[in-house]
Amino acid sequence: MAGSETHYTLPLPGFDKPVKLLIVVAPYYKDIADQLVSGARAEIEKVGGSHELIEVPGALEVPTAIGQAWRMSNFDGFVALGCVIRGETTHYDTVCNDSSRAIQLLGLQGACIGNGILTVENRAQAEMRADAQGQNKGGGAAAAALHLIALARRWGGARRNVGFLPEREEFDIADQGGNPVA
């Protein structure tokens, strides 16, 4: 059982400039979501960071909200939180796979995201994983985002215009006809 295993946890990174994270949570199972948020907040505060919290209707909306915030705001990183408990239909598989895939794609584009969306078989598993005094998966997701932010800062931050760009020609003077001369 996962609850009895021990795992190595990386020490939290240090930051010379404060970090600001957006916690995006789907509170479908409110008590579980509250525990995830509590754990995430505590980890962010350990490094002197700040955070904002927004709620979205469900796990499928979490990556959409993160994508919007990544394009239109000034957050250093993001924490995705929620819980999907297996039900009687294949909707569980769709929600788990699609939310995870969308978060992964945003990460591959350069967004620093810790994924704390629980995907479990039953409520007991969710409660054990969400408990801030237990497995603390919310705190783990925040820690993952903080580590990715540290890497982005180490490597000079996110570059959103990756690829081939035309060379810029700079000219100091112009000839009599106004044409640039190198």
DSSP state at residue 177: T
Amino acid at 127: E
| Of 7, 51, 91, 147, catalytic | 91
Cα–Cα distance between 113 and 127 in angstroms, integer?
23
Count the Cβ atoms, other than its own, within 10 Å of residue 71.
10
β pairing state of 180-181 and 173-174:
antiparallel
**What DSSP string runs through 83-139?**
EEE--SSTHHHHHHHHHHHHHHHHHHTT--EEEEEEEESSHHHHHHHH-TTTT-HHH
From CA 95, how far away is CA 71, in angstroms rounded? 23
Q: Among this protein's residues, is 147 annotated catalytic?
A: no
| DSSP states along 37-95 | HHHHHHHHHHTT-EEEEEE-SSTTHHHHHHHHHHHHS--SEEEEEEEEE--SSTHHHHH
| Residues catalogued as catalytic | 91
